[in-house]
Every structure is written in structure tokens, then in C-alpha cells.
Structure 1
Amino acid sequence: MLLTGFPAGMLQCNCYVLAPHAGADALIVDPGQRAFGPLRRILDENRLTPAAVLLTHGHIDHMWSAQKVADTYGCPVYVHPEDRPMLVDPIKGFGPRLAQVAFGALFSEPRQVVELDRDGDKIELGGITVTVDHTPGHTKGSVVFRVTDGPADMAFSGDTLFKQSIGRTDLLGGSGRDLLTSIVTKLLVLDDDTVVLPGHGPKTTIGAERRSNPFLEGLS
């Protein structure tokens, strides 16, 4: 399996590209600010065709380039319905015009949007089976994408779980209780060797976070 990624934009959001092999269809996870250029190079170098853009949640640093990528390559954007409004208002609660003033961008929905409204659903995309776990807490519509087709199980955790940290809950729609519940019921139940690919920072494993993440001490 081909997996690569890079931190995009001012907020260094990790954008990931996943495909069964070179020359195949690919999944794009969280294409953030200024992600289009690096993405295009990766796709061209590996002869990949985007089959879908997957958003772990709707915050601006994760969805900035989603519409451009999806509409350029003619593929759908997958997002939880709770966070779908952020496709046009990524600083939700402050209004789309603030995003335009603060970031110089005005956002619009991609031509194709698919809502991830079934917790635990398995979807077949680009020859890869993706399990979608609804993990509210950072936002109401946060999700984790799990893939078990490769040599190691992977969880694209967005801003729910990081190496030695967890997502913030002080923004609109955030809930500390919901976040910890999501981590306990959806992530800590996974095998210790599951690779966690977070929205920011380095990768980790479920076992490493279970043992040493200070925010998860005492949880099981």
C-alpha cells in the first residue's frame, strides 16, 4: 500500500494520500491550506487518480483545499453532516465573511458531497475499505477513518487524538466529555499496534498513547 503525507499551510495540518499502489485510485485525507500543489506532484509522480477527499472534520485548516481538489479531479468530498456547514463557513459561529477577511478566502461547497451519517459504516473507495467512526468532541462532526487493508491497521484521527495529546474542545461544538468518550470507545478499543495518523504532528500508535499519553491516564 502507498501512504504518504505532508504538513500543509500555516497551521501545518497533515494531508495524507493513500492508495493500494502506484497507478491506482487514491484517497486524499484533509487537504488543508496550500495543499493543492504538493498533492498534484504526489499524484503525478505516482500516477494516482483521486477517488475521494475524506475530511476528518470541517475546520479551516483541514478543509481549505477540499473543494479545489475535488472539483479539479471530479471526485466527491466525504464529511459528517454535523460539519457539512463548515464547507462554506469553516470558522463556524463567526460567519463565512470572517473567513474571507481573516484568510483572504471565500469557501463554497464542492460539486459532489457525500455525508458520513452512519457510525461504523464501511465504505469502499479506490479499492480500499474505510471504516468511519463518529468521534464527536473536537467538533460535533469529527470522524476517524480506519483502514485495515495494509500491512498495519491505520487510524486517521484528525484532531481527536495526537501523539502525547488530544484535541482542543474550546471551539464551537467542542466538548471535553464527548472527546474523552470518543477516544475511550472508538480508539482505545483498537489493537495496540494500530498506527495513529493525526491531523497535526508525528504519527504514533494506540499502544503508545494508552501507555504514556498524559491526557488519557486512568482511562481504559
Structure 2
Amino acid sequence: MKTLELDLTPSGSLSIECVVNGPIETNSYFVGSAGKWVVVDPAWDGERLVEHFKQAHPADELLGAVCTHGHADHVGGVAGVRAALDGGALYALPAKDGEVPAKNIAEQRSMWGIDAPSPGEPTRLLSEGDSVAVGDCRLQVIEVPGHTPGGVVLFAAAENGNVAFVGDTLFPGSHGRTDLAGGDEAAILRSLSKLARLLPPDTVCLTGHGDSTTMARELMQNPFMQM
């Protein structure tokens, strides 16, 4: 099996805007370069997210949604985003999380009474080594199973700094939960070790909930990255 190597050559400048939304306060990120944007992890009320984008960037184009994993609180806004963009927009989902949205929507409805809309079928499936073009920049796909069977991190080497959208895999001083259906504690620890090897220390890690962090900070302070 070929070992993944990231392209660390800066490719354009990246703009990032975070919108906290949904019943579990998910961080959804508008990510743009050269007038083209995607929304990473549209958690909820996709129509409102698109309205927010159009008001903030009337001259730019929103290509669609890219999801780090298939949990309902990260795909719950996909259907609304696509509907607001006339139905033909991008919906990229990790290939190994194909069955996760339907199962987790049912799980969250049962556990917390949250009834997220189905995102529908993805227009693109993401696997290790793939990349998603956003204007002049590329989001490089790193598979990080553990929180879900097929979760991914999206890494960009931009002129204004390295950034990784880590979903619910990595949090400051900790990692994502593994007690939901499809979770795997041993797998997420291997994924953290993989990130420690691949991501430059200056990488800003944008999490699915709560505060961001950096790889340098996590390498020093996160006990799960020392295992």
C-alpha cells in the first residue's frame, strides 16, 4: 500500500469563515479562493447558510458542500445547500462513510430527538489522496477512521498558511467520541498518529465543534497523540 504524501507547496490564498449552527453547535466553514467557495460540514438549515454566503459574497460562486464525515450534525444542511443552489451543487462525502448518514440520522433522532434531513446521494466520494479544487487552492484528503469508519481530514497548503479541517477526529487535548455506531477507539488513535506524521507543526486545525488548535500545540499537550 502506497504511503500518503501531502503536497506542501503553497497554492493560492485561502479565505475561511466559520458559522456555528445546528442543535449541537457545529462549526461549518466557508472556504474560498479566487472567487470559488465550498462549505465544509454544513450542519443545519442549508438554505440559510447559502443566504448568508450570498449576502457576504455576492460576486462569488458557492460550489457546494464537502463533508469530513457522515454524521447528521455535519451533513444536516447538505440538502438545503443543494436546493438553494438549484440542486446540481457538489456534495462530497468520504467514500467509506456512504451508509453513515442514514444510520446516524436515525441514531440522533432516537438519542436526542434531533430530526436532520437526509443529505441525499453524494455527487462525489472522497478517498485517500484525492483533492477538491477550490479556486487556486486544493483540499487534500486524508483518511482518518475512528470517529466514523471513513472520516477524513481536509488539508490545504495555502500561501497564507497551512490549515486542516479535522472534523470530529481531533480536539484540543483530546479526540472525537468513538461510542457512536461505527466508532473505533483503536482506529482513531492510529489516525491521530497519522496526522502527527503528516501535518506540519504550524498547521491550524479547525475542529468540528468548539475551539481550533495547532498541530504544534497538540503534539506537545495532547496525551492521545503520545500513544
TM-score range, shorter chain: 0.7 to 0.9
Aligned pair partner of 1:7 in 4, 20, 24: 20
Which residue does 1:120 correspond to in 2? 129
Residues 1:67 and 2:67 are matched in the alignment? no
Shift of 1:50: 1.3
Moved more, 25-34 or 125-134: 125-134
Higher relative contact order structure (alpha carbons within 8 Å, sequence separation ≥ 6): 2
| Closer, same or farther: CA 70–212 of 1 in aligned 2, 3 Å | same
Report % sequence identity. Answer: 29
Aligned 8 A contact 2:104 2:181 in 1: no
Runs of 4+ in 1 over 6 A off after TM superposition: none
- Distance across 2 between alignment mates of 1:125 and 1:102: 35
- Distance across 1 between alignment mates of 2:116 and 2:200: 41
| Closer, same or farther: CA 70–210 of 1 in aligned 2, 3 Å | same
Shift of 1:106: 4.2
* Structure 2 unaligned spans of 5+: 1-13
Aligned 8 A contact 2:70 2:100 in 1: yes
Aligned 8 A contact 1:152 1:194 in 2: yes
Shift of 1:38: 4.2
Moved more, 131-140 or 68-77: 68-77
Which residue does 1:150 correspond to in 2? 159
Residues 1:90 and 2:100 are matched in the alignment? no
- Return the letter of the residue paired with 1:122: S
Aligned 8 A contact 1:33 1:64 in 2: yes
| Closer, same or farther: CA 195–131 of 1 in aligned 2, 3 Å | same
- Return the letter of the residue paired with 1:86: V
- Distance across 2 between alignment mates of 1:123 and 1:34: 23
- Distance across 2 between alignment mates of 1:189 and 1:108: 31
Shift of 1:39: 4.3
Partner of 1:115: helix, strand, or coil?
strand
Which residue does 1:28 correspond to in 2? 39
Shift of 1:67: 1.6
Partner of 1:180: helix, strand, or coil?
helix
Shift of 1:6: 1.7
Residues 1:200 and 2:200 are matched in the alignment? no
Residues 1:178 and 2:187 are matched in the alignment? yes
Partner of 1:153: helix, strand, or coil?
strand
Residues 1:80 and 2:89 are matched in the alignment? no
Which residue does 1:44 correspond to in 2? 55
Query: Cα deviation per residue 1:67-120 (whole Å; 9 max; x = unaligned)?
Result: 21023213111011221223444336x4x9x47x9334442505x521113x12
Partner of 1:91: helix, strand, or coil?
helix
Which residue does 1:56 correspond to in 2? 68
Which residue does 2:3 correspond to in 1? none
Q: TM-score, normalised by structure 1?
A: 0.86
- Return the letter of the residue paired with 2:98: R
Shift of 1:42: 3.0
Partner of 2:37: helix, strand, or coil?
strand
* Structure 1 unaligned spans of 5+: none
- Return the letter of the residue paired with 1:125: V
Aligned 8 A contact 1:56 1:142 in 2: yes
Query: Cα deviation per residue 1:45-68 (whole Å; 9 max; x = unaligned)?
Result: 222321131100011111100121
Residues 1:166 and 2:178 are matched in the alignment? no
May I ask how many residue pairs the two structures share in their alignment?
Answer: 210
| Closer, same or farther: CA 148–91 of 1 in aligned 2, 3 Å | same
